[in-house]
Amino acid sequence: MAVDRELPTQEAADLIALTRELADAELAPRAAEYEREERFPREVFAKLGEVGLLGLPFGEDVGGGGQPYAVYLQVVEELAVRWASVALGVSVHTLACGPIDRFGTEEQRRDLLPEMVGGRLLGAYCLSEAHAGSDPAAMRARAVRDGEGWVASGEKAWVTHGGHADFYSTFLRTPDDGERAISCFHLTPDLPGFSAAPPEQKMGLTGSTTAAMRLDDVAVPAGRMVGEPGRGLAIALSALDSGRLGVSAVAVGLAQSALDVAVAYALEREAFGRRIVDHQGVAFLLADMAAAVESARATYLVAARRKDAGRPYSRQASIAKLVATDAAMKVTTDAVQVLGGAGYTRDHPAERYMREAKVMQIFEGTNQIQRMVIGKHLAQEATPANG
């Protein structure tokens, strides 16, 4: 079912129409097969780049689409309705472009950004480590000075597009800048010693490759540092709020797809001489699913509009991520329930949607971390009034 969207301009409406047309032609026919075969759809990302869907929120001066974040996120949601792995990839690519867009030198922005945001290069984001997921400040992978450049060593974990990306926004400890200092680097797979481990064997989103990236004494040229030395953690954290909104949009798109499957099945399946949608028990379940999807969509759009207006949105981003991914888990689980035994088989996509939803409560900060973030904001915002 096509979502009836309230969009700010005719250009945005045309962009949504283009996204739906492309997603129906290029994503939907491939999704089930690629997920089953755990195959990475590199050609799909190339197509998205060709039509300008990989750089929507970036400025037109660097090859981007110049779109508000609220419009970009609805494009991501439309992609997720057809294929969550690809929509997630678009969100990760946007996250990976962020450091150079916001903190890069004039030379880096001129030489690198047009190819990145134009989608001719696919990005990845290397922040987490096996022992430092929710606590990136505890990372151990490091880069030490070597003449004008650096030598990097260690391993980054849970890298979406690991082994397939053309560039990696990578965060490494730089002890010369202070014991706890972290810096950001722009790494590319042509650097000797920078390689991907075998892909993780995952429960869902199997069309999206996730792998550790190994740094075996990688010689990093001086010009590959992004932003000021020792300021990498601030760069990383500044991007996480927008990344959480990306995941929120993916989760809503996945939930919408599960709702559509459940409604279609309930209209066709009969029990006791009536369509099961006409039985109150099923109708109420579908109503709750619809309410969860629309509530989650509204929540991420509130946060996105604050971002577009230049207002603080960190708390709202965490709320959106929490609400949307919990909703996706519930709605996909309920879709399996509506389909009954059929929902538990691979003849229908409901079971895949349920598997895909689970990890959304985990990455970009677990939902327990989101509750901590929201709680801290509430305490900070209430302090002046009580002081």
Residues tagged active-site:
364
Which token pair is 146?
């070597």
Which is nearest to 105 in space by CA: 186, 170, 191? Answer: 186
**Phi/psi zone of residue 95: left (φ > 0), alpha (ψ -120 to 50 degrees), beta?**
alpha
Handedness of CA 152, 155, 156, 162 (dihedral sign): positive
Q: Which tokens sit at 300?
A: 């991420």
Torsion of CA 364, 366, 372, 373, to 10 degrees: 10
From the number of C-beta atoms within 10 Å of its C-beta (0-12, 13-18, 19+), residue 337 rates as middle
φ, ψ (nearest 5 deg) of residue 279: -85, 130
38 vs 207: CA distance, rounded Å: 5
Rg of the chain in Å (alpha carbons): 21
3-state secondary structure of 357: helix
Q: Output the CA torsion sign for 145, 149, 152, 158.
A: positive
Query: Among 120, 76, 123, which Cα is nearest to 95's?
Result: 123
